[in-house]
Amino acid sequence: MVREEHELSKLGKGGNTVERIPVKSSFLAAVGYNAETGTLEVEFKSGRIYQYMNVEPETHKAMMGAESVGAFYSLGITGKYENRRAHELEPKNDQIASSEDAAGK
More confident residue, 11 or 1: 11
Reply yes or no on whether the pLDDT at 100 is more than 80.
no
Domain boundaries, the chain: 7-91
Give the model confidence (pLDDT) of 18-77 as tens digits: 889 999 999 999 999 999 999 999 999 999 999 999 999 999 999 999 999 999 999 999
| pTM of the predicted structure, to 2 decimals | 0.75
Mean pLDDT of 74-95: 87
* pLDDT confidence of residue 52: 97
Cα separation, 57 vs 36, whole angstroms: 10
